[in-house]
């Protein structure tokens, strides 16, 4: 478990750095995919709602305390909900195809942003709600969902071919010495 | 006896969910000073690790930038020589006219080493802190205009709240018609607040800081008037401003440290 914690912490740091550097190169009209939510989505699906909740809180707290100290608590609140829902529903509804996975991710990103801007608006009435939701969140959710769907398809294909260690076919072939 | 334990373990995810949500709500309820103190502790471990990775990721970019800066440095050295001659001439003329030379503002350069990764965060991490004499609420500028103000200072780094954030308001002045107001952004767009309906404000007008607030000195460029809307029933004009600074491409900023002696 401690290896996993270190792995996810490193992945989180990497996602944060990439989000503010390399991802900008792939932005369309200033809209970028959200790598941090993508990572949280992935690990919540993999580890379940309990770890999704804990990592959601950790990611949100780290980002808020570093970049938005006045909004501390809002990021952790929205990411806790995101992580829990992703982990809890990910294995309960039919989400095996890349586009259903993408649609699920799209809904979660929108829900995350509604909570984020909504809680922000409650704390500070000067903060806009609809404008960033329509101009930033909606296109970001589409971009993130498409990227998430593609990544899911690629990972699934690699796992089916046995290229990913730990995948059922990979294990089977390793046992047979292929 | 075992029943409550089993219930808790079966519903552990809900217990953790409730605890983390409650804890988040408690954090939201803290006042600004408490939030800043907590943020300092929270980012203690995160920032150095992030900084290291940031440099690794930006290595290639830094190499190219270094080459470009060397070239620019050579050009600027030649320019400085020319300016030095002009300055001497200017000083001589000032002395002759018995003008008191106004002391220039002291600028501390700092590199942007981190950026708010989310859509709802409007802040930067800069490579400079207490050791460089940076203090809370000092204005941060770029060559294009006002960037924001320092909200958190640590040993070697600081957090800058961008002008785009609703918590970073600036007293402003429309340069052409001398209309005073407050520039405020809502996280996406920026507006001049409290501009009377009869005030002479037109699209394309330059907006600068008025110096009436306690934080920003006068004359720092804020932006340009982009759109004006006014309904007949309103008493005030809706004035949208396009910020002068492109906040997405900031790599280096300057901290204004008052007037040097």
Give the ipTM.
0.81
- For chain A, say whether B48 makes contact (Cβ under 8 Å): no
Identify which of B36, B146, B184 has the alpha carbon closest to the alpha carbon of residue A66: B36
Compute the half-sphere exposure of residue A105: CA atoms within 13 Å on the CB side of its CA.
34
What's the alpha-carbon Rg for chain B, to the nearest Å? 24
B167-to-A59, A107, A172, B221 alpha-carbon distances in Å = 23, 30, 58, 19
* Rounded CA separation B182/A141 (Å): 33
What is the DSSP secondary structure assignment for residue A19, as one 8-state letter? H
A2-176 has CATH 3.30.200 classification: no
Name residue, tokens 């730990």: A166
Residue B15 contacts A where some CB pair is shorter than 8 Å: no
Give pLDDT tens digits for A133-143.
888 899 999 99
Chain A interface includes B184 (CB < 8 A):
yes
Q: Are B47 and B125 in contact (CB under 8 A)?
A: yes
Provide the phi-psi class of B195: left if phi over 0, else alpha when psi is between -120 and 50, else beta: beta
Exposed/middle/buried for B78, CB within 10 Å: 0-12, 13-18, 19+? Answer: exposed
Indicate the pLDDT class of residue B1, thresholds 50, 70 and 90. Answer: very low
pTM exceeds cut of 0.80: no
User: What count of other Cβ atoms lies within 10 Å of the Cβ of residue A71?
Assistant: 30
Is pLDDT at B115 greater than 90 in this prediction? no
Q: Is B178 helix (H, G, I), strand (E, B) or coil?
A: coil
Tell me how far CA of residue A84 lies from CA of A25, A43, A78, B227, B254, in angstroms: 31, 11, 10, 42, 42
Can you give the pLDDT at residue A95?
A: 61
Sign, CA torsion B97/B175/B107/B57: negative
Q: Exposed, middle or buried, B214 (CB in 10 Å: 0-12/13-18/19+)? A: exposed
A-B Cβ pairs (cutoff 8 Å, strict)? 178
Look over chain A and give the mean of its residue pLDDT values, rounded to a whole number.
82
For A71, the closest chain B residue by CA position comes to: B28
Contact A53 B17 (CB under 8 A): yes
Contact A73 B123 (CB under 8 A): no
Q: How confident is the model at residue B53 (pLDDT cuts 50, 70, 90)?
A: low
Query: Confidence band (pLDDT; 50, 70, 90) for A57?
Result: very high
Please calculate the CA angle B2-B8-B11 and round it to the nearest 5 degrees: 135
- What is the distance, to the nearest Å, from the Cα of residue A144 to the centroid of all Cα atoms in its chain? 9
- B49 to chain A: which residues are within 8 Å by CB? 13
């Amino acid at each position: 478990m401690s290896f996993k914690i270190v792995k996810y912490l490193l992945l989180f740091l990497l996602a944060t750095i990439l989000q503010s550097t390399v991802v900008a190169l792939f932005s369309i009209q200033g809209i970028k995919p959200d790598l941090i939510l993508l990572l949280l989505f992935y690990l919540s699906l993999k580890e379940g709602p309990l770890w999704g909740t804990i990592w959601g809180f950790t990611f949100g707290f780290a980002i808020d305390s570093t970049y938005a100290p006045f909004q501390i608590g809002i990021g952790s609140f929205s990411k806790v909900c995101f992580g829990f829902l992703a982990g809890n529903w990910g294995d309960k509804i039919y989400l095996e195809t890349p586009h259903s996975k993408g649609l699920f991710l799209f809904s979660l990103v929108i829900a995350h942003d509604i909570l984020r801007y909504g809680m922000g608006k409650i704390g500070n009435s000067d903060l806009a709600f609809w404008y960033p939701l329509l101009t930033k969140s909606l296109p970001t959710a589409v971009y993130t969902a498409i990227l998430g769907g593609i990544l899911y398809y690629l990972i699934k294909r690699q796992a089916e071919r046995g290229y990913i260690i730990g995948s059922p076919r990979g294990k089977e072939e390793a046992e047979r010495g292929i | 006896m075992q029943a409550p334990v089993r219930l808790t373990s079966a519903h552990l995810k809900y217990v953790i969910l409730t605890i983390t949500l409650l804890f988040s709500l408690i954090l939201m309820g803290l006042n600004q000073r408490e939030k800043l103190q907590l943020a300092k502790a929270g980012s203690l471990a995160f920032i150095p690790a992030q900084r290291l990775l940031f440099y690794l990721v930006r290595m290639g970019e830094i190499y190219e930038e270094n080459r470009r800066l060397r070239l620019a440095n050579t050009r600027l050295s030649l320019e400085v020589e020319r300016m030095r001659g002009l300055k001497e001439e200017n000083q001589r003329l000032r002395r002759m006219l018995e003008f008191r030379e106004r002391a220039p503002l002291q600028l501390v350069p700092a590199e942007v080493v981190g950026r708010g990764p989310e859509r709802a965060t409007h802040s930067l991490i800069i490579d400079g802190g207490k050791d460089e004499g940076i203090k809370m609420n000092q204005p941060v500028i770029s060559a294009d205009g006002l960037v924001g103000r320092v909200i958190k200072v640590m040993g070697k780094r600081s957090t800058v709240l961008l002008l785009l954030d609703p918590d970073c308001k600036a007293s402003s002045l429309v340069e052409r018609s001398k209309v005073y107001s407050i520039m405020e952004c809502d996280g996406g767009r920026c507006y001049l607040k409290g501009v009377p309906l009869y005030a002479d404000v037109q699209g394309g007008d330059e907006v600068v800081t008025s110096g009436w607030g306690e934080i920003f000195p006068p004359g720092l460029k804020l932006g340009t008037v982009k759109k004006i809307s006014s309904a007949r029933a309103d008493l005030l004009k809706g004035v949208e401003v396009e910020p002068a600074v492109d906040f997405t491409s900031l790599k280096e900023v300057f901290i204004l440290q008052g007037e040097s002696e």
